[in-house]
Structures are given as structure tokens and as C-alpha cells.
Structure 1
Amino acid sequence: MFGSRRHLRANLRYLRALLRRFRTTLVLAAGLFVLGPLLFHWRYIGPDGVPISFGEALHHVYFLLYGQPSLPYVHDWAIEALNVVIPPAGIALVADGVVRFAYLYFARHKNDKEWIEVVTETMKGHVVVCGAGRVGYRVVTQLREMDKDVVVVEKREDAAFVSALRDENVPLLIDDTRSPLCLPRTNVKHASAIVCATDDDLANLNIALDARKLNPNIRVVIRLFDEDLSGKVRDTFKAEALSSSSLAAPAMALAAMDPRIIHSFHLGKHLMVVSLFEAREGLPGLNISAIRDRFGGLALSLMRDGHEQLHPVGDEVMRAGDVLTVQASYPEYCRLRAFTNEADPPIFAHQDQIGPVWPRKAG
């Protein structure tokens, strides 16, 4: 139901954008089919001396477009001028209006550049994601789960997730990001953020600079492989520069040391970890607030009898067999682990069984 409403809103926005783009054509069409017949109705006097009705005048103007006048010839300079001017003007109007409108309507099914440009004209506060690889696709998926409008730019038609994005009806522009027309086609000047997630550091930097030039207030997130470069960009460019190696290194190191840790990240100078604790020893009888106050562990979720409770309340008392997902700094995690005397992770701590309690991993 939600998807159908979203699709209807997208089509209505598309129609509004097309009408706005063709407003000049619509005005000219109104002038041709309203003003033209009025002039014939006012000026034309037939050979029998009888004026014509507005309907006859409209009929005559319509067939003039095809070089088939329906009224007899009369010696009147104004009528002669109209008979000469209306056919080429009408043909140009039909060619520019009807043909281009039909082209744009069908082009949307081919993800044509002009169709993408029309779609993005309807957006404001959207996010532009550059790169349709694994990272870019995950970013798009996460943004769409938060009901955020997204436009994707990818250089290669055969990129890994191009087909998947099209199947999900995500606006996808196949274009070279170095082209001066690429980012304007995504309506980046009205976007709230741009994510540069290609596998080329230089290309990501170029995209970020071009985006800031078009929209000085846009939030820029850059994926960089060079950790030194990411630090410099973060400090001088005032952008969120994320190094893949710096994001992956803590997770890989801690996973090698402790299989209980399912996620890790840096918060300033603090190494934060997310882990699962089964209430076997020490935890039963403690409430959530006591775990936080004594060990600094923030309870993210509580799994009990197969049912998950996100953000359990502070006075919730742990029972034997409960599984608690805890976020804490690494030293606090070590203290909590020592308190519970657990050397192994819960035996059923598997992603397919736990499901939502596992946070998404970066990259």
C-alpha cells in the first residue's frame, strides 16, 4: 500500500515537472487554438458575405496544421497572412510539444538522461549517491528505508548494482561525473547531501568539489581509500571523509581477538563495540539501569523467548537465557565480560536467527 502511494506521488510529481517544462509550449498552443480561431471568427467573411462561427474557425485552424484549409479563399490580407503563418508555426509547435512530450514519457522507462533530469526537478532535499557499487547500493538501500529521495549516478552501464537499482525504480543516471552537465542533471543545487562512493579517490574529490561549487551548503560525504588523505580532506574541506581501511581495521582486529564483538567503530578517541551477552552468570537479577551504571553498557535490544525488544526500559530485570545487545567502550566491555565470566559468545548468536539485533556493518 505504501509503495503504491509512493509510486502515485512520483508520477504526479513527474507530470507536474513535465507541465512546468512545457509551459511555453502550452501557452503557444493556447494562443494558436484560441487566438487563431478568434481572429478568423472576427475577420473572415465568406464569399456569400456571411461570417463564420468560432467552431468553423477552430476547424479551419486545426486543418491548416496539415496544409488542408477548410474555408474558401477570400481576398483579405489579414486572412492570407494567417493562412501562411499558422501552418509552419503549428508544425513547429507540434514537433516541439507533442513529439518531445511523448519522447520524455517513454524515455522514463529507459532511464534516459533527460528523463532523470525531469524527475530530479521534482525533488528537493534529496541525496545524490555517486557510485552504484556495493557501498553505493548499501547507502541507497539505507536511505530509502528512511524514506529519503535518492538519485544515483554511475559511469558504467555494466556496474554491479545497476540492474538492481532499476528494478527498485531508483532514479539512475548513467553519465561521466567529469561531465559539466552530470551533477546539474541530478538537481544537486537543491540536494541536502551528496555521497561520493566510487572506487576512485580522485573522482570522489572532483565530485565533491563540483557539488560544493553548485551548492555551497550541501553536506558532502566522501569515501576515500587513502587514510592520510581522508584526514586532510576532513580538516580542510569540512566534509565527512571516510577511509575504508580505517573503518574496517577496528572491526577486523577485534573480530580476530574476540568473536563476540559483532560491530565496532570510533567515537572521537574512544573505541566503541557492540556485543551480545547471554544472561548466564552475573546478569540474571540485574536490571538494565544497573548494567549501564556499573559497566557503562548501553542496552540496544533485549531478546527474550524469541521476541526482541528494542531499547528496553531501565527497570527491566534480566532473566536467565535472555540475550542483551550492548554498546560500550572497549574497556567497559572487557569489565562487563569479566563480570559475566563468559568466554564464548551465545551459541545461537547467528545473523539469520537474531535478525534485527545485528547492526549493519560499514562498507
Structure 2
Amino acid sequence: MQAKLLLEDGTLFTGTAFGADRETVGEVVFNTGITGYQEVLSDPSYCGQIVTMTYPLIGNYGITRDDFEAIRPYVHGFVVRRHEEIPSNWRAEYSVDRLLKEYGIPGISGIDTRMLTRKLRHFGTMKGILATGSKSVEELQEMLGATPIVRDQVARTSTKQLFSSPGNGERIVLVDFGAKSGILRELTQRGCDVVVVPHHTTADEIRRLRPDGIQLSNGPGDPKDVPHAVKMLQELIGEIPIFGICLGHQLFALACGADTGRLKFGHRGGNHPVKELATGRCYITSQNHGYTVVEDSIAGTELEVTHINNNDKTIEGLKHKKYPAFTVQYHPEAAPGPHDSSYLFDQFIEMIHEHKRNLPKVPRQAELAAQLKGEQ
């Protein structure tokens, strides 16, 4: 069956359909990862997007349950140069084609993904429609113009109710804006008692959970579409240690008075170089975002830049000058990607310990009773 990908500028790509037989509209983006297509498909941060893989061979090692980063994929479409229908891997349980069919996601193969990527790099990400079947270009243009880009991606991907992953260590509240499973894995591997809460959880509801620290997850879309999270953070900054990742990093910046803006074509892949300013060391990182913290907006806030992107010099890390809180734009849980930055979870735990050591000492019961008696 034939498939068409039509961009909002009128560019048309025609190829072979796989996955679901339907039409879908989304923001067309590209990912430069060589491996990890399953993690890309199941990353909630891609909600509402039509993802193009720049690596030419996709599907060769199939799909396995253990590699999912969420319960289900949230992408709106999948674009590849070559789709391998018969995977060759002892771990494979089924094919990419079957996965896309199960969740109603159309795919297109056999197009020049290099040309598409160059266009997106030059003109920026743009709206597109991916359709299977025989609809005309005129029909697709009409559908593309009439269908808006989704703006409620966080609500679509966040957990609907609180749940926990028990441990014997520090209690961490993980605020789920569309969290990857890798974040939960990293915390539980360190023995943390993790409570995952929905994106709309209030500051008072978090306080009632008595957390030692707050983890802000990644997530899809524009951070300014989640104003309730900014309000929650403004109430908790300085009270409880905070570590933010990706969208969590951007929301933290907004809560501290900085601004965010849209990147031309975003950072999506597993080989982005990031420089740590304190040491001068360069880390190779996994990234997936279309927005960034605006550098000029940092002046006048209590924030300090800790990391920058070596390619375009955008901000990749922040810390609060006064309170125990730091964030990064990239993915230290790196699934897929290098493990260079997993130490940040250890740094988060150490920050919690340091915060506890600096808390005022609580008087012993006898001393408190004597103090109360004297006051009477």
C-alpha cells in the first residue's frame, strides 16, 4: 500500500505504508540515534509528533517488552528509509509493523530521509500529515489545515493516579509529566522509595507525602502549556531538594523567573556533546526536546548555568544559587544512549543528605517539655 507524507510547505514524500492504515497529523521531527528505535517510539516526549529516523535501517532487531520506556507509544507517525519486516534477534517478540498496528500509528518507508532531515534542519520542524491509502494531495492539504497540533500532551502521557515503587532509602516524589521508565529505574536501583504522582499534583499534596526529594520528569510539548506545575514548584523551591530532567528543567527555570523558547529543529539523538562548566569536561548525552531555556533570561534570577551544549551553546544545566535544586536539559537515564551522566542521580541523593544535615536540630522530647514548662 502507498503512503504519503505531506509537509505544511507543500513538500510531498511518497513511499510504502506499514503500521496502521489511517491518516495522522503532527509535528515532523528527526532523531539521529543509530539504535534505540523502540525506546524512541515509547518515549512519551514524542507525543503528538511524526518521528523521522535518520539511521537508514529500522526494525532489524524487532520489539521486546523489556525495552519499553512507557506502557505504550505516543508518537503520531513513524518515518524510515528502510523498514525491516522480519527481525533477527533472539530477544525479539514481534515486529515494528505489528507494534504500530496495535496502537493505530501509521508508518512510511522508502523515502529519502536525508532530504527530509536537511529540509527540517534548514527550515525548522513543521506540521505534516502522514496518510496511507489513495487520498489526493488536495484532500490531504485540507485535512492538514483543519487539524491543529495537540497541546495537551502532558495530560495525555502523565499517570492518572498516584502509585509507588517501595524502597528502603530516601523517599522521592517523581512528578510525572510524561516520565520515561529509565528515571524510575535509576532511582529504584539506588534504593529510593519512589512515589509517582500526576502532573497536576499540588504543593500541599506533595508535602503530605513527606518526601526527602522531588524528581521532575521529562515530558512532551511546550513548558508554558503546564502553568500549574510552575505554580507548584514556586511553592516548594527551597523547602525540598529538587532535581529536574528535560521538561522538568524548563519548568524549574520558569518557576525561578527565567524564560523558555522554541528551538529551530530541536535536539533528538544519543550523541549530543555537553560541557560541564565547573570542570570543563565534555559528556556525550541523550537528548529529546524542542524547547530551551533562554540564556538572556537567566540574568536577574537566582539561577546559575552549569552545563552548555557544545554544538549550539544552548543551556543544558542549571542550579539554584541559594537552595538545593539543580536541573539538566538532557537525559541522564539515557535509554537509549551513553551512561556518562548517570552520576547525576547520585549527586541528587547526596544533595538530599546534605540538606538533611543542614536542617535545624529538633529538640529532644525532654528538652522540649522543659522548654514548654518554663514558658508556662
State TM-score, norm by structure 1: 0.26
Counting strand residues as a fraction of each chain, which structure ranks higher? 2
